[in-house]
Amino acid sequence: MSSRNSFLHRNGLSLVLLALFLGFLVAQVITGHAAYSQERLDQGLTLLSLSAYLRSGHFISATFENWESEFLQMGMYVLLTVSLRQRGSAESRPLDPAQEEERIDAGPAPWPVRIGGVWKTLYAHSLSIAFLLLFLMTFVLHSWGSWLLENEERAAQRRVSLSWTAHLLDSQFWFESMQNWQSEFLAVLSIVVLSIFLRQDKSPESKPLRAPHSQTGT
């Protein structure tokens, strides 16, 4: 088998991204456990084992708070780029529909397209539906973890615990969410605008080096 047909060559991007994700997740667990252990020591509380930490509000809240904002960012980006354009951006569809080229290789269409009806309709929007479901799942897990963490802190201070509903209405929870959400849309704005003028040779996220700044626009 030639190197170009190897599993690594065909799936290198997702494998490297998966390895980076897992590496940083492990680093988050280790450093988060250490930081939370120090917090509990300072409060005169017993330390948590690593397995107990993974079930704590500190870890659950921090992890799913970030995942939630990522899924929101990607889901909104998928939807907004359907109808909105940015002249000259490598991340935008062309302003002129005549300039769009939809490449379809030879081969059978996916089964929902062949069957048609409601399955085809669902499949036509399956990417945004998947991101919506992932966002809702991580939002619930973030709120649950954040609620657990707040009540852990309240217990350490001998204060009355809050209900999950009361926590959802608290400004602190929404502060946690908004600081992540705004940064995700800043990241999308950056790639959309910077790709108008800047280049990264050979990257599919960039226009060719010799392309005019106005390319994808008219």
* Residue closest to 79 by CA, chosen among 126, 12, 143, 20: 126
Would you say residue 217 has pLDDT above 80? Answer: no
Q: pLDDT digits over 132-148, tens only?
A: 999 999 999 999 999 99
pLDDT of residue 159: 93
- pTM value is 0.87
- Inter-CA distances, 165 with 68, 162, 181, 192, Å: 19, 8, 21, 38
Give the pLDDT band (50/70/90) at residue 99: confident
Please report the beta strands in the chain, taking only residues with DSSP state E, as ranges in sequence order.
none
Give the pLDDT band (50/70/90) at residue 48: very high
In the chain, how long is the greatest CA-to-CA distance? 68
Q: pLDDT digits over 161-198, tens only?
A: 999 999 999 999 999 999 999 999 999 999 999 999 99
Q: pLDDT digits over 103-125, tens only?
A: 788 889 999 999 999 999 999 99
